[in-house]
Amino acid sequence: MDAETARYCADMVRDDDYDRYLTVLCAAPEHRRALFALYAFNQEVAKTREQVTESTLGEIRLQWWRETVDGLYAGDARRHPVAEELAAAPAAGLPQALLIEIIDGRVGDLYDDAPKRFDDLFAYADATGGAVTEAAVRLTGTDARRALAVARGVGVAWALVGLVRAFGFHAEMRRSYLPEAEMAAAGIARETLFRGEFAPELTPLIERLGDEARRRIKAARGYRAEVPAAARPVLLIAGLAEGYLDRLKAARGNPLDADFHRGQTARLLRLYGQSLTGRF
């Protein structure tokens, strides 16, 4: 590892995952490099669908990362800036299975099949959000069972809010993460989503995602005292998620009308305030 690879990862997170970038700046200096490496790794696997022209190529890319992770835990880092930075993860006590879970969670992105039910969607959010946040908490030296459970809950909430924020983008890509069974029960065809319109019948489904995110954040905060101070900056995404959900509420549950980019100064002040008080 060197300054160049560290800068590469930090720049990637700043450009592609700005909210988490801000939370890393609130973390203790000794934890920032590892967190940037983790979040850059997450970006590498998360953007697979957008970087390939067919699912087979995406499978190959994800398999490359599985093999890369296997190599890291065998003491052999591939010559890739993110892999080189992530090489410190085994010594930091990060379980290999957690990184593999993050990779495997992205397989579904390569195909156009929507989740069958909300439970399937929540499982996807756990693999793509919960696992990442648990890994981040572990990198701060925390392995207490309750703290890891809190991280999972906050991570799932963040992933669900991310899906809501990306609703329009996914529609343009002819992708939907809304459960098929609930869509069918509401009498909504998937093609409706791809026309750039928002049917009123979709509102309860979107609100269900928001309600679930808020529920998990509230539950996580009930155990705030059991989360070590070093791990709390990772969980600052909880407050940011609530800010986005407030924007959704102001738009009456229509993510196409919600201005998620507004209020950045307010989000920064909220993040800073929570960081100073040790809240999330």
Confidence label for 7 from pLDDT (cuts 50, 70 and 90)? very high
Nearest to residue 105, comparing CAs of 150, 156, 179?
156
Q: Where are the domains positioned within the chain?
A: 1-109, 112-280
Check: CB of residue 139 under 8 Å from CB of residue 92. Answer: yes
Confidence label for 216 from pLDDT (cuts 50, 70 and 90)? very high
Give the integer Cα–Cα distance in Å for 278 and 100. Answer: 31
Share of the chain above pLDDT 70, in %: 100
Check: CB of residue 98 under 8 Å from CB of residue 142. Answer: no
Check: CB of residue 107 under 8 Å from CB of residue 52. Answer: no
Give the integer Cα–Cα distance in Å for 28 and 140. Answer: 9
User: pLDDT value at position 35?
Assistant: 98
- Mean pLDDT for the stretch of residues 141-169: 97
Is CATH 3.40.50.970 what the domain over 112-280 is classified as, yes or no? Answer: no
Q: Where are the alpha helices (DSSP H) in the chain?
A: 3-16, 18-26, 29-46, 48-51, 55-73, 81-86, 96-104, 118-125, 131-139, 145-165, 167-172, 180-185, 190-193, 203-221, 237-250, 264-277
User: pLDDT value at position 196?
Assistant: 77
- pLDDT per residue over 46-64, tens digit each? 999 999 999 999 999 999 9
Check: CB of residue 230 under 8 Å from CB of residue 28. Answer: yes
Give the integer Cα–Cα distance in Å for 280 and 268. Answer: 13
Confidence label for 268 from pLDDT (cuts 50, 70 and 90)? confident
- Mean pLDDT for the stretch of residues 62-86: 96
pLDDT at 195 over 70: yes
pLDDT at 166 over 90: yes
User: pLDDT value at position 258?
Assistant: 94
Give the integer Cα–Cα distance in Å for 71 and 142. Answer: 24
Kind and range of the H or E element at 140? none
- pLDDT per residue over 103-135, tens digit each? 999 999 999 888 999 999 999 999 999 999 999
Confidence label for 152 from pLDDT (cuts 50, 70 and 90)? very high
Give the integer Cα–Cα distance in Å for 185 and 36. Answer: 42
pTM, two decimal places? 0.95
- Position of tokens 């986005």? 244
Helix (H, G, I), strand (E, B) or coil at 141: coil
User: pLDDT value at position 270?
Assistant: 84
* Mean pLDDT (the chain, rounded): 94
User: pLDDT value at position 194?
Assistant: 85
Lowest mean pLDDT among 138-147, 167-176, 215-224, 232-241: 167-176
Confidence label for 1 from pLDDT (cuts 50, 70 and 90)? low
pLDDT at 228 over 70: yes
Confidence label for 267 from pLDDT (cuts 50, 70 and 90)? confident
- The set of residues, in sequence order, having a beta carbon less than 8 Å from that of 269 and lying 6+ positions away, is none
